[in-house]
Amino acid sequence: MPHNATSSSHAGLQVAVLVSIGRHPLTARARRADQDARAVEMALSLDDAAIRLVHAGGNDDDNEEALRGYLGMGIDEINVIKQASNADIVPALVTSLRDAAPQLVFTGSRAEVGEGSGLVPYLLAEALGWPVINGLAQVESIEHGVATVLQALPRGKRRRLRVRLPAIATVDSNAPPARQSAFGPARRGELAARACSSMPDELQAQWHMQTARKRPKRLKIVKSASARDRFKAAAAKAEGGSGQVLSDVSPEQGAEAIFKLLKEEDVLR
Amino acid sequence: MLDTLLPILFFSALALAAIGAVRRVRLWRQGRHSPVSLIRGLIAMPRRYLVDLHHVVARDKAMSNTHVATAGGFVLAALLAIVVHGLGLDSAILAWALLAATTCMFVGSLFVAKRRRNPPPRLSKGPWMRLPKSLIAFSLGVFLVTLPTAGILPEDLGSWVLALALAGVVAWGLGELFFGMTWGGPMKHAFAGALHLAFHRRPERFSDKHGGEGRSTGLKALRLEDPATKLGVEKPADFAWNQLLGFDACVQCGRCEAACPAFAAGQPLNPKKLIQDMVVGMVGGSDAHYAGSPYPGKPVGEHAGEPHGPIVTRPSTKGGTALVDAETLWSCTTCRACVEECPMMIEHVDAIVDMRRFLTLEHGNTPNKGAEVLDNLIATDNPGGFDPGSRTHWAADLNLPLMADKREAEVLLWLGDGVFDMRNQRTLRALVKVLRAAQVDFAVLGNEERDSGDVARRLGDEATFQSLAKRNIATLGQYRFARIVTCDPHSFHVLKNEYGELGGNYEVYHHSTYLNRLLEEGKLSLKAWKGGTVTYHDPCYLGRYNGEYEAPRDVLRALGIEVEEMARSGYRSRCCGGGGGAPITDIPGKQRIPDMRMNDVRETGAELVAVGCPQCTAMLEGVVEPRAEIKDIAELVADALIEDDSAESTSRDEAAGKARRAEEEVTL
C-alpha cells in the first residue's frame, strides 16, 4: 500500500472526510461507497492527522450497516447529521464544516445513490470560498498551510499542485484502494447522530425520477487495415507529438536522452 | 546408605514434580474458560489413550512397540519404585516386578536410542537427544538398586562410592522423568498429554465403546452477540485453556511436519513449529531454544512472545515481529493432515482459524485477494462477485426443477459456487444427467442458493459465514426434502457439520456417496470402462473431514476401474492446495502444492485422476501439461451411462430445447 512518501508528520492537521451510503452495482445492497472509502483511506494515510468523518442524510437501519463499513477501517466515530430524506444536504454540511473548521476535506467524486451529480464538493467550495482539487491521487506534504498534492490525470499521468489550505479534495478510483473493513471495529465504532434542521431540496422535488435503463452501447468502429493500426488506435495517447526518434547514437547519448525524459516526466527526481 | 538416600531422592523428585505441575497448570489456566467435564474426562482418559491415541501411534509399528515398552515399563517402574524404594516396602515380589518393569523399559530405551542415532529431519533435536540416555539411566539405575531388594545381591555389596554413583544415576533419571515432566523437559508430553486427552476441547472426536468412530471436524462457532468482546485470538492467553494444554502436550515427533503440504511446498508454515511457538507464547520468551525444522525461509530466534502480548504484529507497526508472522497462518490449507497425523490429538486447524479470525475480524488484514473475496461474499453471496441472479444461467437448457416451484423433493441438489465456473459446470451437467437417468426426484434452490460460507469461515470471517449460513438455513427451512446432495465437499462439510450449531440439521450426501447408493440400488446401468489406468485423489473435506474414503472407490469399481492408488491416499492423501482460502491468500513458496500432487499422480503412471471436488479439479487442472487428465466421478459415471431407460426424458429435453430454439428464431 503506498503511503505518504515524505517523513513529515501532519500533527495537528484537521481532516474531515465526507462519507455517503454506497450501493453495490449488481445487487444494490447498501455498502460503504467505494470512492468515499478511498477518501477515508487517503485521510488515514496522513500521519498523525485528526480525522473526522461526517455523513449527512437519513439514518435507517440499512444505512447504519453501510456507515459501519467506514468504522471498520479503524475509525472510532462518524458524525451523522440527520436529515430528512428529501433534504438538500449541502447547507447542513456547510454549517458543519464552518463550525469544525478542518484544513482539508476529502470526499468521493460522486455518490453511488441519489442524484450522484458530483456537485456537492463544488457547492461546498463555493459556499465556503475554498479551492477544490479533483482526482486527488496523493498528498505529498503539508507545510505552513500549503499542501503539495498529486492530481490524477487520464492515462496514469500525475500533476503536482500546491494548494493553500483549507481546501476540498475529491478522490476517484485513481486513488489507492480502501483498506479492508473489519467486522469488530465496525461494530464497536460509534455513530454520533446529531439532529439538524433540514432544507428541503426544492429543485429535486420537481424532478421526475425513474430507474435508469441499460442503454445499448454504440459500436466503436475503428477504420483500420491491420492489427497494428487497431492496437495503435487503442493505445494512442490523447495528445502528444513531443516524441523524439533517436537513431545511430552512442549508448551514452541514448542513456542521457532517456535520463532527461525520465526527469522531465518526474519519474526521477 | 542407599536405603536412606533413595527415599530422599524419590520424594524430593516427587515434591518438585508436584510444584512444577502446579506451575504448569497455572500457565494453562491463563487461557479462556472452556466448558469440559473434568470428572468424565478423567474417567474417559485411559480409553482415549489406549484406543484413540494408540490407533494413531500404531501407524508406525516399530515406534509404537518402542513406546509401549518404554512408557509402559516406565509407568509400572515408577509406581513400583515409589513403593519399594520410596516407602521402603521390603517385598521380594514387588522387587522382582520392578526388575521386570525396568528391564522392559531398558529394552524400549535402547530402541529409542537407536532411533536417535540417525534421526529423520522431522524429529526435534536439542533436549530430545538426551532423552534416551535419561531413560537408560533411570531404568538401569533403578534396576541395579533393586537387585539387593530382590535378594539377588547382598544388601551391603560394594562401597559407599558405588552407592553414591548409583544414587547419582538414579537421580539423573528421576530428574528427567519426574522433575522434567512438569518443568518443561521432553517428558512434559506425558503429563500434559494425559491431561489433554482427559480435557480435550472436542471430546466427541474420540471413539466410544459402542463402535462409534468419533469424528469432530466442524469448526466451533464464534459468539458474535456481544460487541464488546474481542473476536478471535490475539494473544496466547486468548486461547481456551484446554487448547493451551493441548499445545503443551506436543511431543515434537514432526509427523505433522511430514504431512503438511504447505511445509513441503516451502511456504512459511510448519505445524510443529507453530504449536511450539504457541507454547513459547504461553510461557513467555523467544523461540531460540526450538530444535526442530524452522518455518521454511524463516530462521529460528527472531520471534518472541508472551502470554499477554500479540501473536501477530499489525503491519502498521513497521518492521516488528511478534510470535509468528501472518503469512505463516495464511499458508495453511486447512487440510487437516497434521491433525490426522498427530498422536497427541492436537487441533492445529482450530488454532490457526482462531488466529485468522482475529486478523480478519479485528485487524481487517486478510492478505491478497482475501478482502475482495469477503467483500464479494457480503455484497453478492458468492466469492467471485457474480450477479446472484445469474446462478442458474449455466443450466438454461436443462430445465432444472426449482424448489421454489416444487416446494418438495426427495433430493435437494446443492450446486455450490461452482455454478459460475465453466469447468465445474461440466461436472454439474454430468451429475444432473446421472440423477435424471436414475429417475431421482430432485430440485435445486436456483438463485435462492448462496455460498455455503466455507471460504469466509476458513478466512476467519465468522460474521460473514454466520450471515450466509443463517440465510441459507432460512431458505432451506421453507422446503421439504429428505436429503441434500452436493458435488462440492466443502459445501458438504459445512452443511453437514457446521450448520448444526446454527440450527440447520440435514442429511447431507456427497455425490460420490449418493451415486454409490444409486448403483447399489441398481438404478444405474453402466458400460465397462475402456480407458487407461486411473488413480483417485481424496479431497480433504470428504476424506479426512468426513471419513468418506470408500464410496468414491466403490463407484470407480462399479465402473470397472481398478484404482491405481497413490503413495499418499486415503487418510494420508495430500491436499491439492485449494482449501482454506489458500488460493485466495496465495502465500508464495518454493513450489506449488498442486504440482506436488500431480507428481504423486505421475508416480502411479495413471492417465486419469478421478476427483470429487471442484477445488481439486481447478487446482489439479492448473498444473501444466503434460499431465494426467482430470475428471470428476460424476463425469465418469455420466460417460459410462447406458441410457435406454432414460431415453424418454432426454428426448423430452431435446424436444423442449428444439422448441425453445424455434422460438428464438421467431423472435429474431
**Per-residue CA distances from B528 to B429, B512, B518, B552 (Å):** 21, 18, 17, 17
**Residues of chain A found within 8 Å of residue B387, distances taken between Cβ atoms:** 26-27
Between A29, A74, A188, which is nearest B227 by CB?
A188
Q: Between the CA atoms of B159, B164, B166 and B167, what dihedral angle is there, to the nearest 10 degrees?
A: 140
Is the same domain home to B532 and B598?
yes
Q: Is residue B537 part of a domain?
A: yes
List, in order, residues 6 or more apart from B45 with CB less than 8 Å away.
B194, B197, B198
What are φ and ψ of residue A186, in 5° steps? Answer: -60, -40
Tell if the CB–CB gap between A184 and B361 is shorter than 8 Å.
yes
**Res. A1 pLDDT band, cuts 50 70 90:** very low
Is the same domain home to B381 and B357?
no
Cα B45 from Cα B173, distance rounded (Å): 26
**Residues of chain B found within 8 Å of residue A31, distances taken between Cβ atoms:** 378-379
Q: What is the mean pLDDT of residues A154-181?
A: 92
Q: Are B556 and B538 in contact (CB under 8 A)?
A: no
Pick from A59, A168, A173, A52: nearest CA to A119 = A168
Residue showing cell 504431512: B259
Taking 3-state DSSP, the helix, strand and coil percentages for chain B, each rounded to the nearest 5, stand at 55, 5, 40
Helix (H) or strand (E) holding B196: helix B188-198
* DSSP conformational letter for B82: I
The domain boundary, picked from B304, B328, B363, lies at: B363
Sheet (strand A146-152) strand order:
A136-143, A146-152, A158-164
Tell if the CB–CB gap between B379 and A29 is shorter than 8 Å.
yes
**Residues of chain A found within 8 Å of residue B461, distances taken between Cβ atoms:** 183
Q: Are B544 and B348 in contact (CB under 8 A)?
A: no
Q: How far is CA B418 from the centre of its chain?
A: 25
Helix axes A34-44, A61-71, angle to 10 degrees: 30
Pick from A179, A181, A141, A182: nearest CA to A163 = A141
B368 touches chain A (CB under 8 A): no
Give residue-wise pLDDT tens across range A210-269.
887 888 877 766 677 788 887 877 776 655 566 777 888 898 998 998 898 888 888 787
Amino acid at B289: H
The domain boundary, picked from B338, B363, B388, lies at: B363
List, in order, residues 6 or more apart from A265 with CB less than 8 Å away.
none
pLDDT on residue B655: 47
Is the same domain home to B273 and B404?
no
Print the domain residue range for B307. Answer: 250-363
**Res. B661 pLDDT band, cuts 50 70 90:** very low
Tell if the CB–CB gap between B387 and A185 is shorter than 8 Å.
no
C-alpha cell at B333: 490449507
Between A26, A180, A185, which is nearest B366 by CB?
A180
Give residue-wise pLDDT tens across range A52-63.
999 998 756 678
Between A27, A29, A180, which is nearest B371 by CB?
A180
Q: How far is CA B90 from the centre of its chain?
A: 50
Is the same domain home to B358 and B417?
no
Q: Are B510 and B492 in contact (CB under 8 A)?
A: yes
**Residues of chain A found within 8 Å of residue B370, distances taken between Cβ atoms:** 180
B223 touches chain A (CB under 8 A): no
pLDDT on residue A6: 43
Is the same domain home to B562 and B597?
yes
pLDDT on residue B354: 96
Q: Residue B648 above 60 pLDDT?
A: no
Q: Is residue B651 part of a domain?
A: no
Alpha helix segments (H runs only) across A29-176: 34-44, 61-71, 89-100, 120-128
Is the same domain home to B57 and B24?
yes
Beta-bridge mates of residue A55: A80
Cα B285 from Cα B657, distance rounded (Å): 70
Q: What residues of chain B, 431 to 490, have a C-beta less than 8 Å from chain A? A: 461, 463-464
Total domains, chain B = 3
In Å, how far is B362's CA from the nearest CA of chain A?
5
pLDDT on residue A212: 78
Tell if the CB–CB gap between B387 and A27 is shorter than 8 Å.
yes
Tell if the CB–CB gap between A73 and B461 is shorter than 8 Å.
no
**Residues of chain A found within 8 Å of residue B230, distances taken between Cβ atoms:** 184
Q: What is the phi-psi region of residue B232: left when phi exceeds 0, alpha when psi lies from -120 to 50, beta otherwise? A: left
Cα end-to-end distance, chain A, whole Å: 21
**Residues of chain A found within 8 Å of residue B386, distances taken between Cβ atoms:** 26
Q: Residue B668 above 50 pLDDT?
A: no
Give residue-wise pLDDT tens across range B365-393.
999 999 999 999 999 999 999 999 999 99
B371 touches chain A (CB under 8 A): yes
Q: Are B559 and B531 in contact (CB under 8 A)?
A: no
pLDDT over 70 percentage in chain B: 95
Between A27, A73, A187, which is nearest B380 by CB?
A27
Is the same domain home to B501 and B634?
yes
In chain A, count H helices and then E strands: 8, 14
Tell if the CB–CB gap between A185 and B362 is shorter than 8 Å.
yes
Residue B181 DSSP SS3: helix
Q: Are B646 and B437 in contact (CB under 8 A)?
A: yes
Between A24, A29, A72, which is nearest B364 by CB?
A72
Q: Are B476 and B403 in contact (CB under 8 A)?
A: no
C-alpha cell at A255: 542513456
In Å, how far is B377's CA from the nearest CA of chain A?
11
What are φ and ψ of residue B423, in 5° steps? Answer: -65, -45
Tell if the CB–CB gap between B227 and A181 is shorter than 8 Å.
no
B314 touches chain A (CB under 8 A): no
Q: Are B348 and B274 in contact (CB under 8 A)?
A: yes
Q: What is the phi-psi region of residue A28: left when phi exceeds 0, alpha when psi lies from -120 to 50, beta otherwise? A: left
pLDDT on residue B25: 95
Helix axes B188-198, B241-248, angle to 10 degrees: 140
**Residues of chain A found within 8 Å of residue B360, distances taken between Cβ atoms:** 180, 182-183
Q: Are A190 and A77 in contact (CB under 8 A)?
A: yes
List, in order, residues 6 or more apart from B153 with CB less than 8 Å away.
B147
Tell if the CB–CB gap between A188 and B380 is shorter than 8 Å.
no
Taking 3-state DSSP, the helix, strand and coil percentages for chain A, each rounded to the nearest 5, stand at 30, 25, 45
Pick from B449, B545, B444: nearest CA to B497 = B545
Give residue-wise pLDDT tens across range B154-172.
766 667 778 888 888 889 9
Q: E strands along A131-189, which residues?
A: 132-133, 136-143, 146-152, 158-164, 167-171
pLDDT on residue B666: 44
Please give the full DSSP string across B350-412, using - where no structure is assigned: HHHHHHHHHIIIII---TTTHHHHHHHHHHHSSTT---GGGTTGGGTTTTPPBHHHHSEEEEE
Q: What is the phi-psi region of residue A2: left when phi exceeds 0, alpha when psi lies from -120 to 50, beta otherwise? A: beta
Is the same domain home to B436 and B551?
yes
CA dihedral sign of residues B17, B22, B25, B26: negative
pLDDT on residue B315: 77
Q: Residue B656 above 80 pLDDT?
A: no
Q: Residue A3 above 80 pLDDT?
A: no
Q: Is residue B212 part of a domain?
A: no
pLDDT over 90 percentage in chain B: 80
Cα B112 from Cα B139, distance rounded (Å): 13
B362 touches chain A (CB under 8 A): yes
Q: Is residue B357 part of a domain?
A: yes
B361 touches chain A (CB under 8 A): yes
The domain boundary, picked from B363, B382, B409, lies at: B363
3-state SS, B638-657, equals: HHHECCCCCHHHHHHHHHHH
Question: For chain A, what are the domain ranges?
Answer: 14-206
Q: Residue B662 above 60 pLDDT?
A: no
Cα B284 from Cα B305, distance rounded (Å): 6
Residue showing cell 430432485: B442
Q: Residue B85 above 50 pLDDT?
A: yes
pLDDT on residue A4: 42
Between A26, A29, A74, which is nearest B387 by CB?
A26
Amino acid at B148: P
Please give the full DSSP string across B602-641, using - where no structure is assigned: HHHT-SEEEE--HHHHHHHHTSPSSS-EEEEHHHHHHHHB
**Residues of chain A found within 8 Å of residue B388, distances taken between Cβ atoms:** 26-27
Q: How far is CA A22 from the centre of its chain?
A: 14
Tell if the CB–CB gap between A182 and B364 is shorter than 8 Å.
yes
C-alpha cell at A148: 503539495
List, in order, residues 6 or more apart from A120 with CB less than 8 Å away.
A18, A89, A90, A93, A107, A111
Is the same domain home to B380 and B354?
no
Q: Which residues of A touch B (CB under 8 A)?
A: 24, 26-27, 29, 31, 72-74, 179-185, 187-188
Which of B222, B363, B382 best probes binding to A when mutated, by most A CB atoms within 10 angstroms? B363
Is the same domain home to B456 and B554?
yes
Q: Is residue B63 part of a domain?
A: yes
Q: Residue A44 above 50 pLDDT?
A: yes
C-alpha cell at A196: 439538524
Is the same domain home to B400 and B496?
yes
Helix (H) or strand (E) holding B536: strand B534-536
Between A24, A74, A182, which is nearest B379 by CB?
A24
User: CB under 8 Å, gap of 24 or more: what pairs does A253-260 form?
Assistant: none
Residue B594 DSSP SS3: helix
The b-or-e profile of B264-280 (16+ CB within 10 A means b, else e) is bbbbbbbbbbbbbbbbb
Which of B225, B375, B377, B447 best probes binding to A when mutated, by most A CB atoms within 10 angstroms? B375
Beta-bridge mates of residue A160: A150
Q: Is residue B224 part of a domain?
A: no
- Total length of chain B: 668
Give residue-wise pLDDT tens across range B17-53.
999 999 999 999 999 999 889 999 999 999 999 999 9
Is the same domain home to B582 and B471?
yes
Q: Are B244 and B28 in contact (CB under 8 A)?
A: yes
List, in order, residues 6 or more apart from B605 with CB less than 8 Å away.
B533, B564
| CATH of A14-206 among 3.40.50.300, 3.40.50.620, 3.10.450.50, 3.40.1280.30 | 3.40.50.620
| A/B interface, count of CB pairs below 8 Å | 52
